[in-house]
Amino acid sequence: CFLSLQKREISNFDYLMYLNTLAGRSYNDYMQYPVFPWVLADYHSETLNLTNPHTFRDLSKPMGAQTVERKQKFIQRFNEVEKNLSAQCHYCTHYSSAIIVASYLVRMEPFTQTFCSLQGGSFDVADRMFHSVKSTWESASRDNMSDVRELTPEFFYLPEFLTNANHFELGCMQDGTVLGDVQLPPWADGDPHKFILLHRQALESDYVSAHLHRWIDLIFGHKQHGSAAVEAVNTYHPYFYGDKVDLNSIKDPLIKSTILGFISNFGQIPKQV
pLDDT tens per residue across span 69-102: 999 999 999 988 655 556 789 998 899 999 999 9
pLDDT band at 239; cut points 50, 70, 90: confident
To the question of pTM greater than 0.75 for the whole model, the response is: yes
Structural fold of domain 19-266: Neurobeachin; Chain: A, domain 1 (1.10.1540)
Residue 257, pLDDT score: 76
Residue 259, pLDDT score: 72
Give percent of the chain above pLDDT 90: 73
Higher pLDDT, 7 or 53: 53
Q: Is the pLDDT of residue 3 over 60?
A: no
- DSSP string for 23-42: TT--TT-GGG---B---B--
Residue 241, pLDDT score: 85
Average pLDDT score over residue span 127-134: 94
Which CA distances in Å does 191 have to 159, 177, 183, 194, 263? 9, 19, 10, 5, 37
pLDDT digits (tens, 9 = 90+) for 81-90: 655 556 789 9
Average pLDDT score over residue span 205-225: 96
Give percent of the chain above pLDDT 70: 90
pLDDT band at 220; cut points 50, 70, 90: very high
User: Which of these, 247, 232, 236, 227, lies nearest to 270 by C-alpha position?
Assistant: 236
Rounded to the nearest 10 degrees, what angle do helices 192-203 and 12-22 cross at? 80
